[in-house]
């Protein structure tokens, strides 16, 4: 199995997405380094249009577990958010 490490930008986004909680960020980062392909799952999640966190598809829209925002606009996925340079 190919182990894929996070790019610096993915690490930076992850840090933002977990609300700057160092314990959770470190836990997730370790999962990736031990071969759990968390980022492959995470990059396909939609991005919250309000707070830019990784959100979840829910009842025809996008629900953000971090800020609670629900949007009918499906927006784009984390991978496009990073690839197209939307994350600052």
Chain residues binding Zn ion by CB under 5 A are 48, 50-51, 53, 64, 66-67, 69
Q: Which is nearer to Zn ion, 66 or 79 (CB)?
A: 66
Q: Which is nearer to Zn ion, 28 or 45 (CB)?
A: 45
Residue 64 CB, nearest approach to Zn ion (Å):
3
**Secondary element (H or E) of residue 14:** helix 8-17
Residue 23 CB, nearest approach to Zn ion (Å):
20
Rounded to whole angstroms, the Cα distance separating 38 from 21 reads 17
Q: Which is nearer to Zn ion, 11 or 49 (CB)?
A: 49
Residue 5 CB, nearest approach to Zn ion (Å):
27
Rounded to whole angstroms, the Cα distance separating 34 from 77 reads 25
Residue 47 CB, nearest approach to Zn ion (Å):
9
- Strands 61-63 and 70-71, sheet pairing: antiparallel
């Amino acid at each position: 199995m190919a182990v894929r490490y996070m790019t610096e930008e993915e690490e930076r986004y992850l840090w933002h997405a977990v609300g700057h909680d160092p314990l959770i960020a470190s836990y997730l980062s370790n999962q990736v380094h031990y071969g759990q392909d968390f980022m492959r799952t995470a990059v396909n999640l939609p991005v919250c249009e309000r707070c830019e966190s990784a959100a979840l598809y829910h009842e025809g829209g996008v629900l953000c577990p971090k800020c609670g925002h629900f949007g009918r606009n499906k927006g784009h996925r984390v991978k496009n958010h990073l690839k197209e340079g939307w994350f600052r």
